[in-house]
Amino acid sequence: MISDGIRTAVKQSISIYEKGSKLANLLADVEPYAIKFVRSQWAANYLIPGRLKISQTPALTWGTATYVTPLTFPLSSALYGRIGLVSDFDPSGWRVFDATEPAACMAYVNWVQVQPAFSDLVLTVHSTHANHLLRNKFRRDFKIDCVLFHPDQEADIHTDRGQHVWMAVTDWNSDGSIDATMSARFAKARFTVLIDEEFELEENGLPIQKAARQIERITERIPIYESYEVGQARMDLSFPAK
């Protein structure tokens, strides 16, 4: 049984998107646009606008959702790939759970502890799967369209875990279940940003907490270097020698 106190605490951490709300403030300077970084192999799929893939693997912070970052923090999630896909979206009427607030996090923890699956979470090897089921159930039960949360993985230099905010956005099926295919809420994503950097996502098979730069640490040690505008470099016959 879930007590009225737990339900009330959760509901108090949910707000409807409107002017002055947390999400609205994050979008105030850039309008409702979000960015998602993916591996280079997916770049060609987004040369023309298309839907973002909804993430559904068990090791996700808030379950099956589309994970994006407000353009207020354009490079914050760059550890997930070199290709930045940018899409507009319409958050009107969204129910937003603000997990950047300690009270909201505690409300979720209290809710989890009274769920039947909690014992699987702490007493079995299936904790990742149990976590995934609980996070999806939580968002379904409270009809949460978007979870705001601080990054729990960090790209060296690019990410500020204390200040940046990421989003886990739910797409719903007509029967009220969570969609796990392609996002209708981020349907105009386009290949917009290419960064000259890579990061490791795992260490010893576990999600990495802080990822060091893989490219820049090499290039920045080159003692003599020159920068070229791309068009100029392609026309410069001496460029290979240089």
The predicted-structure confidence for 84-113, as pLDDT tens digits, reads as follows 999 999 999 999 999 999 999 999 999 999
The torsion of the CA quartet 129, 135, 141, 147, rounded to 10 degrees, works out to: -160
CB-CB contact of 209 with 159 (8 Å): no
Tokens coding 200: 């490791």
Tokens coding 32: 């409702």
Tell me the pLDDT tens digit for each residue of 53-89: 999 988 889 999 999 999 989 999 999 998 999 999 9
Tokens coding 152: 């729990």
Distance CA 177, CA 136 (A): 9
Is the pLDDT at 230 greater than 80? The verdict is no
Alpha-helical segments (H) within 99-147 = 102-113, 118-123, 127-141
* DSSP-derived 3-state class of residue 14: strand
Tokens coding 45: 């799929």
Tally Cβ neighbours within 10 Å of residue 52. 25
pLDDT of residue 2: 78
The pTM of this model reads 0.84
**Quick one: average pLDDT of 184-213?**
84
pLDDT of residue 54: 97
To 5 degrees, how large is the angle CA 90–CA 93–CA 99? Answer: 90
Distance CA 187, CA 200 (A): 28
DSSP string, 87-105: EE---TT-EEEETTSHHHH
pLDDT of residue 220: 63
Distance CA 208, CA 214 (A): 14
- Assign 156 a pLDDT band (cuts: 50, 70, 90): confident
* Burial class of 211 by CB neighbour count within 10 A (0 to 12, 13 to 18, 19+): buried
The torsion of the CA quartet 25, 94, 53, 137, rounded to 10 degrees, works out to: 120
